[in-house]
């Protein structure tokens, strides 16, 4: 039953893009309105991504009606993005201009005829009505339901100012509030654009070859298995596999790698990457909604709906803070006059306190920072799947690394060949020819080395091939029986291995290399050392992390000797060897008990349990594996660790900026409230304090766009 319900809700859930949100409060109001629409069972608004998810049936017209209070424009999620008019031309800002002109004219008339004259009063009243019309409608509705949000407070303050004859100040407050909202809308749009720009990376059409025809087709109509033709200088519209041609592709949009990557037949390629030089024919492997780029966009947008811990604190605080401000304002307006103060003066002070109390800057302090940081990370090839993970990464004190495939390339390679009699290439050819029949994981490294050296293995006939379990193989070539295997095999064959050779074997083993020997029953002909190659960036990354004060630990299933050699080479603080997957999991649990905040970096497949148990699971190479994208909290899209220090720096900066924002938003309110004591607080100082705080908090958050590697 539950499975059926899940599929039903998925089937009925539809996403729409929303244009025109000015604040988080408006998003919450819109969500409530949509939930009340006939045919809608449930709705959820993602303010960061500017989207609404609706379960049930409705129309775009009905949704726009629900958002009419904010003049919201709705479009289908898949619909092309409409270019917005320049900020200063937008319809919602026109009323601000008219209202401002009326205010200035009324001010001059006041100077001419005196403040109490009917002409400036009419001008101020018109300015208040034009600039604050939509604000009053929502404010009065909220007041009737005893819902005290920002617009309710502003409505009470402006109507109150008019009632006590402060028409000019009431009009000034309306205009400053409208400007504040417009600036907030502008800055949120700017933060969102860093994510919306991801949607424009891949072309909407592609040249497809079907039968003998080539045609331009919209991506929605391209099918899996179609052949896509990509000319030099063009971007790929779909994910696929190269079936013809070779070229270099700039994958920066997906993986953040600035260096182009060579692509040959059978290599995987991604939508949104740029073909630099060759003509490619690519077999499409995924539909447009399943491409890696689509997944990135979806995950980044979802990440914004997940609130950061500081956002939860702010929301909880604002819930109690706003009613408390209303109570303080009422007390300020009533108590002093009852004790003999001037009613008009103290009501005015109470109204100013209401304006100061607007939680605008406080509410916007966290989401703008989170949206900006996640957008910046996505453009640099790092997927952070939510505000909570962004904050966790900033608190990290220790990072555990899987060795194989993370600190190392995960592909064994021949590092040394030592020969005793005979030519190196001749002996390597014999070893590779024998190893062709072997299942040993290190055999492929020897065969690859022979291919790189251009050796022809087909000229050698291998006879009487036989595997010696756990020790090696033997075979006959040119009527000579050769053995390829571990030092143990040759100790059995020859008794003790000669001293100088044994010394060389031990020396290479101490360096973390696996040594294989080629020989006959009588003598050793060559030693071949094979090792998992270190990634070029590993050592530098570990240095940077240690410099950031983070403890680094390497976890591996390898033996202690190999692990120690690689650990020393890479520079980690600690090494744990001989670990099974469950041992890694237990280690992460112990590590968390010691350090609280611990990250695990792995490839997202065999490390899934450890990734899940850590505070932050970081997966490498997310562009190639769906598992990495699904299991990790943070995915490094390229197979490159160098993005890790950048991610931690960005997260730490985000936490710092969020703290600055919250502190500043509260401090400016407190200072303004203290002005009540000497009676210095005026309505326009109050709105300037609120508007200034909102603007500074937003601009401060946008500094996160500048964080670079």
The catalytic residues are 402
Rounded CA-CA distance 349/342 in Å is 11
User: Strands of 13-19's sheet, edge to edge?
Assistant: 40-46, 51-56, 13-19, 73-76
Q: Contact 230/205 with Cβ under 8 angstroms? A: no
Q: How far apart are CA 188 and CA 84, in angstroms?
A: 14
CB 575 within 8 A of CB 567: yes
Task: Answer yes or no: are the C-beta atoms of 33 and 45 closer than 8 Å.
Answer: no
Interstrand relation of 480-485 and 574-576 (parallel, antiparallel or unpaired): unpaired
Q: How far is CA 230 from CA 212, 244, 286, 694, in A?
A: 17, 11, 16, 47
SS3 state of residue 440: coil
* Triad 340, 342, 344: Cα angle to 5°: 150
Segment holding 248, helix H or strand E: strand 247-250
Residue 450 pairs in a beta bridge with: none
| Distance, C-alpha 196 to centroid of its chain | 13
Name which of 241, 263, 256 is nearest 201 in CA terms: 256
Chain center to CA of 29: 27
Query: Directed axis angle between helix 643-674 and helix 387-395, to 10°?
Result: 100
Q: DSSP E strands: which ranges in 435-537?
A: 462-468, 472-477, 480-485, 514-519, 524-534
CB 608 within 8 A of CB 624: no
The answer to whether 514 and 507 have CB atoms below 8 angstroms apart is no
Residues 6+ apart with CB under 8 A from 567: 554, 574, 575
* CA neighbor of 325 nearest in space, from 693, 584, 686: 686
Residue 16's contacts (CB-CB under 8 Å, 6 or more residues apart) are 51, 52, 54, 60, 63, 74, 75, 76, 77
Task: Give the single-character DSSP code of 406.
Answer: I
């Amino acid at each position: 039953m539950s499975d059926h319900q899940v599929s039903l809700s998925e089937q009925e859930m539809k996403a729409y893009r929303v244009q025109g949100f000015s604040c988080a409060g408006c998003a919450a109001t819109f969500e409530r309105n949509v939930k009340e629409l006939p045919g809608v069972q449930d709705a959820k608004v993602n303010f960061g991504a500017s989207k609404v998810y609706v379960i049930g049936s409705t129309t775009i017209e009905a949704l726009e009606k629900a958002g009419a209070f904010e003049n919201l424009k709705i479009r289908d999620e898949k619909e092309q993005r409409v270019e917005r008019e320049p900020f200063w031309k937008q319809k919602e800002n026109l009323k601000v201009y008219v209202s401002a002109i009326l205010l200035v004219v009324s001010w001059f008339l006041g100077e001419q005829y005196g403040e109490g004259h009917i002409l400036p009063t009419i001008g101020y009243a018109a300015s208040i009505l034009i600039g604050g019309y939509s604000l009053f409608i929502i404010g009065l509705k909220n007041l009737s339901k005893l819902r005290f949000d920002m617009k309710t407070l502003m409505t009470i303050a402006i109507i109150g100012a008019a009632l006590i004859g402060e028409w000019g100040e009431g009009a000034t407050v309306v205009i400053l509030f409208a400007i504040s909202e417009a600036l907030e809308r502008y800055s949120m749009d700017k933060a969102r654009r860093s994510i919306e720009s991801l949607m424009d990376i891949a072309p909407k059409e592609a040249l497809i070859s079907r039968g003998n025809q080539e045609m331009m087709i919209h991506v929605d109509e391209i099918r899996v298995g179609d052949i896509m033709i990509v000319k030099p200088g063009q971007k790929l519209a779909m994910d696929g596999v190269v079936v013809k041609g070779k070229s270099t592709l700039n994958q920066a949009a997906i993986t953040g790698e600035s260096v182009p990557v060579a692509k040959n037949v059978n290599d995987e390629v991604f939508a949104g990457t740029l073909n630099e030089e060759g003509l490619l024919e690519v077999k499409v492997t995924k539909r447009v909604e399943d491409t890696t780029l689509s997944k990135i966009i979806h995950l980044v947008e979802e990440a914004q709906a997940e609130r950061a811990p500081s956002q939860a604190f702010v929301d909880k605080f604002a819930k109690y803070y706003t009613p408390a401000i209303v109570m303080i304002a009422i007390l300020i307006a009533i108590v002093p006059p009852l004790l003999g103060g001037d009613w008009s003066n103290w009501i005015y002070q109470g109204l100013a306190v209401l304006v100061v109390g607007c939680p605008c800057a406080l509410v916007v302090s966290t989401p703008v920072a989170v949206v900006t940081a996640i957008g910046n990370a996505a453009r640099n090839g790092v997927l952070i799947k939510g505000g909570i993970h962004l904050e966790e990464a900033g608190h990290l004190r220790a990072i555990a690394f899987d060795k194989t495939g993370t600190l190392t390339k995960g592909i064994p390679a021949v590092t040394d060949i030592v020969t005793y009699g005979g030519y190196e290439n001749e002996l390597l050819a014999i070893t590779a020819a024998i190893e062709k029949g072997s299942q040993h994981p290190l055999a492929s490294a020897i065969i690859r080395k022979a291919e790189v050296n251009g050796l022809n293995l087909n000229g050698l006939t291998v006879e009487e091939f036989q595997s010696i379990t756990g020790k090696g193989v033997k075979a006959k070539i040119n009527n000579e029986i050769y053995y390829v295997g571990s030092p143990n095999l040759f100790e059995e064959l020859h008794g003790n291995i000669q001293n100088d050779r044994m010394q060389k074997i031990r020396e290479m083993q101490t360096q973390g290399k696996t040594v294989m020997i080629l020989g006959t029953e009588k003598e050793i002909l060559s030693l071949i050392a094979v090792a998992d190659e270190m990634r070029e960036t590993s050592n530098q990354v570990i240095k940077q992390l240690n410099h950031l004060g983070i403890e680094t630990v390497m976890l591996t299933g390898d033996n202690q000797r190999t692990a120690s050699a690689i650990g020393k080479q890479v520079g980690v603080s600690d090494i744990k060897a001989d670990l099974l997957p469950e041992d890694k999991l237990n280690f992460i649990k112990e590590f968390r008990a010691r350090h609280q905040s611990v990250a695990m970096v792995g490839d997202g497949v065999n490390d899934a349990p450890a990734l899940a148990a850590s505070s932050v699971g970081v997966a490498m190479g997310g562009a190639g594996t769906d598992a990495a994208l699904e299991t990790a909290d943070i995915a490094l899209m390229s197979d490159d660790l160098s993005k890790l220090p950048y991610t931690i720096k960005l997260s730490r900066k985000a936490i710092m900026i969020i703290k600055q924002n919250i502190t500043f938003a509260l401090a400016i309110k407190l200072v303004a409230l203290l002005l009540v004591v000497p009676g210095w607080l005026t309505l326009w100082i109050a709105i300037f304090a609120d508007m200034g705080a909102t603007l500074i908090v937003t601009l401060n958050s946008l500094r996160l766009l500048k964080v670079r590697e």
